Amino acid sequence: MDRRRFLCTLAAAAPVLALPDLAFASPVAPRVLRFAHLHTAERLVVEYMDGTRYLPDALASVNHLLRDFRTGDEHVIDPQLLDLLHSIQSRTNTTRPFEIISGYRSPRTNAMLHDRSASSGVASGSLHMRGQAIDIRLGDVPLRGLRDAALDLRRGGVGFYPSSNFVHVDTGRVRAW
């Protein structure tokens, strides 16, 4: 193909190339998460996104499950946190539910935990109070593997607490401790 024919072909293809990526994307699969809350013994299997949009009733179920188990207070959980968990689930190939240590924390609970011990790792401005953080583990993934999967995603904060047997993930800025 000579240069002129190539440029004409490219010019004819320009409108197609300018279409949004979604025009070429394959359908997005529904997103499903499995949870087991270690403090309330509640379990939840939830399709929180149908492939194109978040499902309000499913998000409400997640908000309830991840409530402050000490006070019963509920808060909106950041859907990006659920997407992060879904990515971790895919990356680790887990077949088990996320075991929840802590989801949302009310300001009162957070202050109590923070005051309990300066070395506890509970931040006074914790993202748990915004519904942007969760402390988890997986029954079939070593704790270090869970931490490494979260770190590899580079989509928020990752705290590693091997002595307490959990990993903290959040949708804040990328950082690790």
Average pLDDT over residues 136-163: 98
Residue 89 lies in a domain: yes
Radius of gyration of the chain, Cα coordinates, nearest whole angstrom: 21
| Tens digits of residue pLDDT in 45-98 | 999 999 999 999 999 999 999 999 999 999 999 999 999 999 999 999 999 999
Residue 149 lies in a domain: yes
Q: How many CB atoms lie within 10 A of CB 33?
A: 20
Which residues, at least 6 apart from 40, have a Cβ–Cβ distance to it below 8 Å? 69
Question: Which range of residues forms the domain containing residue 138?
Answer: 28-176
| Tens digits of residue pLDDT in 3-36 | 666 555 545 555 544 555 444 455 689 999 999 9
Residue 92 lies in a domain: yes
Residue 94 lies in a domain: yes
Residue 101, H or E segment:
strand 98-102
Average pLDDT over residues 143-169: 97
Residue 15 lies in a domain: no
Compute CA 39 distance to the chain's CA centroid, rounded to the nearest angstrom: 20
Compute CA 170 distance to the chain's CA centroid, rounded to the nearest angstrom: 7
- Report the pLDDT value the prediction gives residue 115, as an integer from 0 to 100: 83
- Report the pLDDT value the prediction gives residue 21, as an integer from 0 to 100: 46
Closest to 48 (Cα-Cα) out of 67, 35, 39: 35
Q: Give the pLDDT band (50/70/90) at residue 116.
A: confident
Average pLDDT over residues 137-155: 98
Which residues, at least 6 apart from 2, have a Cβ–Cβ distance to it below 8 Å? none
Residue 121 lies in a domain: yes
For the chain, the domain total comes to: 1
Compute CA 87 distance to the chain's CA centroid, rounded to the nearest angstrom: 7
Q: Is 12 exposed, middle or buried (0-12, 13-18, 19+ CB in 10 A)?
A: exposed
- Confirm if 120 and 114 have CB atoms less than 8 A apart: yes
Average pLDDT, the chain: 89
pTM to 2 decimal places: 0.82
Give me the CATH number covering residue 131.
3.30.1380.10
Residue 23 lies in a domain: no
Which residues, at least 6 apart from 80, have a Cβ–Cβ distance to it below 8 Å? 132, 155, 171
- Report the pLDDT value the prediction gives residue 15, as an integer from 0 to 100: 54
